[in-house]
Chains A and B, each alone.
Chain A
Amino acid sequence: MKKMMIAAVAALVLSAPAFADVVVVVNAANSEAVSKDQIVNVFLGKSTALTPIDQADGSAIRGEFYKKVADKDAAQAKALWSKLVFTGKATPPKEVSSSADVKKAIAANPKAIGYIEKSAVDATVKVVLTP
């Protein structure tokens, strides 16, 4: 217990952000503009206009995306989602394990939206936000 406390406090102090650049992308054929508010709404279950694709739980890019775009840490986002899921109001975003899989999912669905490393951007996706 004491060790965990120390570890937690250390994690707080040492969590200096080492961010890779994350960008928000949609299907290359999607010509509509997407605002930051819309992205937040889609990823926090307040809008179903687009289909969100999440990266793996606990991954650095997922933490960075939620922090930069929605100003929530992963635990806060999870608590918000648990409100929606366990009232049956929404189902959480589909999770894939890499930026390559995000691009595949987006290529397969013109209404999909996801986030990947800036270096992974190619012609199959269109960047709508560089937070």
Chain B
Amino acid sequence: MNKSLLVAMLALPLAVSSAYAQDSFTIPAVKVSGFGTGALTMTNTDDAEFGRANQPRGVKKDPRTGVDSNLGLQADMTINSWLSLTGQGLVRKDAEDDFGAEATLAFAKAKVNDELSIRVGRMGVPVFMISEYRNVGYANNFVRPPQEMYSQVPYNNIDGIDAVWQHAFGATNVTGQIAVGRSKASLAGNLEAEMKSLVVLNLVAEYGPFTARLGRAQGKMTITGATSLDGLLGSLRTAGAGYRMPALIQLANDLVADSKKASFTSAGLGMDWNNIIGQAEYAKRKADNYVNDTTSWYVMGGYRIGKFLPYYSHAKLSVDSVVANTVPGACPAGYPAACTPTLRALSAGVASLRNSGTGQGEQSTDSVGLRWDFSSSVDLKVQIDRVTPKNGKGLFVNVNPGFNHAVTVGTVAVDFVF
């Protein structure tokens, strides 16, 4: 993981380090490392497309590489004993149906002492147990993080400042991390999501082979560019004003994602004990807008036999509550004839929000897979998922009308690091 490939440097968004190099006599050593996954994914249906969270297109019966393949390059430069710079770029399919590059990390890290470091810039947002390395296939046992949970927060990075504190209490290692800043994400369908005043707390305790984690993130969520949602909200307001129904205007105000409070609270457990592997997470999402309040969880277990690791996982996403649909079923006597049909259309529109958009919808998945560490720094994985959507399309995209059945997904992936 320490090949100095200056050529690869050029591909990285490291303006800050090249600026440094120009006015410096000795250029500090740059360590270039990378990770990637080459994968083929297919399903047993042409009725719906299966993709990772926030991919606008997925796979059907024809195998495609786009769902699970990616490539990341990272450059680390140690300036002196306490200061270092890190930049990372990731190429994958996210938000749009082409492989695109994004700057996933770009920060300066100052080591205050042996236990505390401060980072400024763009860091991974630690909302999940594996959120910061979820794209590094080699660092994970499964082919992809359980989508039921990892679809629930679309933000990958935080722009701001964080502090990481590590301390050993006897044999227990505790890591505390607090990050403050803002986060932006492009969502499938040309939407933009933004979290301002974002505060993320991440606590991890490790005792030998056991890991426990607690996390909490909250901020003010704004979503723009949702034309169908904006149309619905406009219609609610127009109808509310025209028919003198203030409840409709109130409903529009409750649904709009305009600097509304949102939070994500999660707990996780991990284990790698005597060849027994376990990982589980549980999370609650809450949002004061049309975005569903949800519960998501998964459990994964595996048993390592030499270089082989067979595993099983079960994941579930369910909706706890949505904004109450207060559109009246009919208009009082004496209202224009168009009133009741208008209300019915609005009511149907509000009801559909529960299952539309990125990370909305309910489903569960059972997965079995095998990881084989067949060579140094390279593994091969085979995974079969049985995805069962509930009340609609679940997390599938581009579905045929009426689609609501379980789908089998098969994936072969090779992960590597260098």
Contact of B139 among A49, A79, A92, A95 (CB under 8 A): A79
A-side interface size class? 20 to 34
Bound-complex Cα distance A91 to B173 (A): 18
- A48, B111: Cβ atoms closer than 8 Å: yes
- A8, B374: Cβ atoms closer than 8 Å: yes
- B417, A78: Cβ atoms closer than 8 Å: yes
- B306, A86: Cβ atoms closer than 8 Å: no
Q: Main secondary structure on chain B at its contact with chain A? A: strand
- A91, B168: Cβ atoms closer than 8 Å: no
- B168, A74: Cβ atoms closer than 8 Å: no
Bound-complex Cα distance A57 to B2 (A): 11
Contact of A86 among B35, B107, B373, B376 (CB under 8 A): B35
Name which residue of chain A comes closest to B416, CB basis.
A82
- B133, A82: Cβ atoms closer than 8 Å: yes
- A89, B164: Cβ atoms closer than 8 Å: yes
Bound-complex Cα distance A24 to B304 (A): 28
| Residue of A37, A80, A88 with most partner-chain B CB within 10 A | A88
B-side interface size class? 35 or more
- A85, B74: Cβ atoms closer than 8 Å: yes
Contact of A46 among B72, B76, B139, B173 (CB under 8 A): B173
Name which residue of chain B comes closest to A51, CB basis.
B81
Name which residue of chain A comes closest to B72, CB basis.
A86
Tell me whether B386 is interfacial, beta carbon within 8 Å. no
Bound-complex Cα distance A12 to B377 (A): 18
| Residue of A57, A79, A95 with most partner-chain B CB within 10 A | A79
Q: Which residues of A contact B31 (CB under 8 A)?
A: 91
- B1, A88: Cβ atoms closer than 8 Å: no
- B136, A92: Cβ atoms closer than 8 Å: no
- A86, B136: Cβ atoms closer than 8 Å: yes
Within 8 A of B (CB), among A54-87: 57-58, 74-76, 78-83, 85-87
Contact of A91 among B76, B138, B166 (CB under 8 A): B76
- B138, A79: Cβ atoms closer than 8 Å: yes
Q: How far is the CB of A48 from chain B (nearest CB, A)?
A: 5
- B372, A8: Cβ atoms closer than 8 Å: yes
Tell me whether A47 is interfacial, beta carbon within 8 Å. yes
Q: Which residues of A contact B272 (CB under 8 A)?
A: 76
Tell me whether A98 is interfacial, beta carbon within 8 Å. no
Tell me whether B78 is interfacial, beta carbon within 8 Å. yes
- A88, B119: Cβ atoms closer than 8 Å: yes
Take A8-B307, A88-B105, A88-B109 as given contacts and tell me if A78 and B377 are in contact as well, using a CB distance cutoff of 8 Å. yes
Contact of A88 among B78, B88, B111 (CB under 8 A): B88
Contact of A82 among B107, B111, B136 (CB under 8 A): B136
Q: Which residues of B contact A89 (CB under 8 A)?
A: 132, 164
Q: Give per-residue flags for A82-109: 1 if the beta carbon is below 8 A from chain B beta carbons, else 0.
A: 1101111101100100000000000000
Name which residue of chain A comes closest to B133, CB basis.
A83
- B74, A86: Cβ atoms closer than 8 Å: yes
Tell me whether A4 is interfacial, beta carbon within 8 Å. yes
- A48, B33: Cβ atoms closer than 8 Å: no
Name which residue of chain A comes closest to B372, CB basis.
A8
Contact of B417 among A58, A82, A88 (CB under 8 A): A82
A contact set with B: CB distance below 8 Å? 4, 8, 11-12, 15, 37-38, 41, 46-49, 57-58, 74-76, 78-83, 85-89, 91-92, 95
Name 29 A/B residue pairs within 8 A (Cβ), A-sorted. A4-B374, A8-B374, A12-B305, A12-B306, A12-B307, A37-B168, A38-B168, A41-B168, A46-B166, A46-B173, A48-B111, A48-B114, A76-B272, A78-B1, A78-B376, A82-B139, A83-B130, A83-B132, A85-B74, A86-B33, A86-B132, A86-B417, A88-B105, A88-B109, A88-B123, A91-B78, A91-B84, A92-B1, A92-B2
